[in-house]
Amino acid sequence: MKALAFAAMVSAAASAALADSDHRKGTEGLSPLDYAVENTGATVLSCDVKLAHWYSDHLATIAPQAQGGFTLWSDAATGAVYLMNEAQDRMPVERLWCGLDGRSWETRHEIDLARRGGAVATAPILRCAAQETATDCR
């Protein structure tokens, strides 16, 4: 009986902690950062993000001489940048890059994230070309 009471207490405490957390969903209060990427190179380009120390996610694959893009979300008050997953969880973005498809991390060009607390951020229009050893984005 004591174990059942303890389990109920732990469950109630966990529910209260979750309710008090700052985990918000959806894009309310956020501004879209619509990235447009033109692949000016002769190889397929891949753009990706780092969401945690151990997790990355794919944003776009862009064929040679083609255009593509993706949307991230910015919190103007804090400067935080998010990627939304299918459940509309706000996943904080740590890094953004484009590189040679299949080897984007090794050949990456890191793209500055629009982190401007106190101002509405805008995404740049990127022109990228991936090579075997490096990628150049302007």
Confidence at residue 116, expressed as pLDDT on a 0 to 100 scale = 77
Mean residue pLDDT of the chain comes to: 86
Look at residue 41 and tell me whether its pLDDT is greater than 80: yes
Query: Tokens representing 7?
Result: 């389990």
Look at residue 15 and tell me whether its pLDDT is greater than 70: no
Alpha carbons 35 and 71: distance in angstroms, whole number: 6
Give the domains, in start order, of the chain with CATH numbers.
Answer: 25-137 (2.60.40)
Given a contact cutoff of 8 angstroms between Cβ atoms, the answer to whether 129 and 39 are in contact is yes
Question: What is the percent of the chain with per-residue pLDDT over 90, rounded to a whole number?
Answer: 72
Confidence at residue 2, expressed as pLDDT on a 0 to 100 scale = 52
Alpha carbons 130 and 120: distance in angstroms, whole number: 30
Given a contact cutoff of 8 angstroms between Cβ atoms, the answer to whether 92 and 80 are in contact is yes
Confidence at residue 13, expressed as pLDDT on a 0 to 100 scale = 40
pTM higher than 0.95: no
Choose among 76, 85, 69: nearest CA to 31. 76
